Amino acid sequence: MVKQFQQVKDNPVPKAIFYTCMDSRMIPTRFTETSVGDMFVVRNAGNLIPHSETFVDEMTSCEPAGLELACIVNDIRHVIVCGHSDCKAINLLYQLRNKEESSIEKRRISPLKSWLCSHAQSSLEKFISMNGDFKQPMLFSAETPQRKFVAYIDPENKFCIEDKLSQVNTLQQLQNVASYGMLKKRLEKHDLHIHALWFDIYTGDIYYFSRRAKRFIIIDEATYESILSEETLNLKMNQKPIFEYNDESQAERLARKSKDSPFMILGIMGLVGVCAVGAYKYKKRGNMSTSIFLMQLRVAAQGTAVAALTLGLGYSLVDKYILKTKKEE
């Protein structure tokens, strides 16, 4: 462990930010097989990410601060939300369907109830809207309000009702992540990806929400290739960066510039020619003062450069509006 810390202490390169529950049975680095420096981890009761509408005047929670630190400051490309079975916070959330349990009086004496009522109410409302019929599809917003995905919650009916709510809550957090304006451009360009995982405490199985399968599917040897192909397809949707930097030598840079602006070479050659002629004539300037000679030489050099620029501009206009039109015809 000490060696791992020494390797990443000055230059960690995290690949994701991982939101999960503070449950003591959840050890994300173990079931994700990650090591020191691989990802940011944010933990709280119920793996919640408050919706941006929660904050009226300023951000006052560590969850959006974590998003900014990871996605904006460190430019990571993956946000992962991981729920789990037998979540004590979600079990309590299920009880908060009772208006008496979620009353203002109860919330004033229970920070946990207040936290859940403030930031998990949307999950509970979506869960209640199903009326216990989980064979129906649920609709969630994804990276943008226009991109939505369908989800079937536990169609095999393997889990208890609270665990179903836990899965709904996990997917709801993806919508909450996408609500932050600071992430809007990256999400629209597919430069930032949001994922949902769900961990079964009792079996040790980890589930991945597949938008292709429209449900949480177990990650094992039988599903690995399918999940990998889905993620590969998502990554291929990324747009290339607007600016690409390649380390060029001076010769390569000159060759590229010459190809882009052929008259630049004529301008440089003309300038060198004027300087060479000027150096030759300097010895035969007669009674002309040095200052006047240099002034005339400067005018000649500038005239050569302007002439090359004018020719280059004319060539560009002809190539763009005349030659290109003829080629298209």
The binding site for Zn(2+) comprises 21, 23, 84, 87
Q: In sequence order, what are the beta bridge partners of 83?
A: 198
Tokens 């649920």 found at: 138
Q: Could you give the dihedral angle defined by the CA atoms of residues 165, 169, 171 and 174, in that order, rounded to the nearest 10 degrees?
A: 180
Query: What Cα–Cα distance (Å) separates residue 63 from each residue in 38, 43, 67, 98, 144?
Result: 19, 9, 7, 28, 19
Q: Are strands 16-21 and 78-84 parallel, antiparallel or unpaired?
A: parallel
Nearest to 227 by CA among 249, 211, 204, 246: 211
Binding residues: 21, 23, 84, 87
| Amino acid letter for position 214 | K
Distance (Å, rounded) from C-alpha 193 to C-alpha 186? Answer: 9
Angle between helices 111-119 and 121-128 (to 10 degrees): 60
| Amino acid letter for position 282 | Y
Distance (Å, rounded) from C-alpha 138 to C-alpha 320? Answer: 52
Count other C-beta atoms under 10 Å from residue 46's C-beta. 26
Query: What Cα–Cα distance (Å) separates residue 209 from each residue in 67, 198, 217, 223, 230?
Result: 21, 8, 6, 12, 11
